[in-house]
Amino acid sequence: MKIRHGDTTILNAKKAAARATYHHGDLRAALIAATEEVLLEHGVEAFSLRAAARRAGVSPAAPAYHFGDAAGLLTEVAIAGFEELTRFLRRWSDKGGKIPQARLRSQGEGYIRFALANRARFQLMFRKDKLKADPRLFAAAEESFACLQTAVCEAMGLPPSANPGPDVMILVLASWSIVHGFAHLLLDGQFDRMAEDRKLDKFLDATIPKLLQTVAVPTRSKPHE
């Protein structure tokens, strides 16, 4: 008996115990959760509507009823991903204390930690080829982006602005690029040459703070440090 079949059996039993009727109750949310489990355990490539259905313990045709197609379901997962990323960035900003430059660097570390803790979901969020062009997705991504933008403005000693000047934008792009690139290379295993397996944590602890110091922040008002 294959593991996969075992899983399905267990889940079917679970489902049967959990509900007397075949009406699920909240299959929509359950399918999103099931998809996140599949991503976490087996990666983006392992996802299919049928795999999500198996996880949730429903028939193969059920997901289409709620999401239309695979992109529809994945888009919901990506939206939730960006919402959680935003929460992550805010929490890590605060972890940085009161000095705006330190807050920015801490937020940058948060971005990388998020990617590491949400591997496949993070990768999915930047796979537009697998996602719908949904305004809610744009809005959720925009909010994460705005979070970074605010941190950069403050680190430069400027008031937060939704429409900042080119100097700010360059630094936003640089900050985003460096943490995104680092996260992407990290998840792809490109740093395994420098730190294999067990030493990865130490490598990250030592590297990330210094990495983020290499981005030069031109301050417009007197620095707090």
Partner DNA sequence: TGTACATCAGTGAACGCGCGTTCACTGATGTAC
Q: What's the DSSP call for residue 59?
A: -
Partner in contact with 128, chosen from a second copy, DNA, none, beta carbon below 5 to 8 Å by kind:
a second copy
CB 15, min distance to a second copy, A: 31
Q: List the interface residues with a second copy, window 112-171 (CB under 8 A).
A: 126-129, 141-142, 169-171
Return the range that interacts with a second copy (CB under 8 A); candidates 24-32, 54-62, 97-105, 178-186: 178-186
State the residue for tokens 């792009």: 173
Residue type, 26: D
CB 98, min distance to a second copy, A: 24
Q: Which residues lie near DNA (CB under 7 A)?
A: 21-25, 27-28, 48-51, 58-62, 64-66, 69-70
Partner in contact with 95, chosen from DNA, a second copy, none, beta carbon below 5 to 8 Å by kind:
none
**Angle at CA of residue 90, ends 147 and 104, nearest 5°:** 70
| Cβ contact 52:31 at 8 Å | yes
Under the criterion CB under 8 A, does residue 221 sit at the interface with a second copy? no
CB 20, min distance to a second copy, A: 42
Q: How far is CA 139 from CA 32, 67, 83, 169, 192, in A?
A: 19, 19, 10, 19, 35
Q: Which CB sits closer to a second copy, 25 or 223?
A: 223
Q: Which residues contact 185 (CB under 8 A, 6 or more apart)?
A: 191
- What span, in angstroms and rounded, lies between the C-alpha atoms of 64 and 68? 4
Residue type, 52: A
Residues that bind a second copy (CB under 8 A): 43, 45, 126-129, 141-142, 169-171, 173-174, 176-185, 188-191, 193-194, 207, 210-211, 213-216
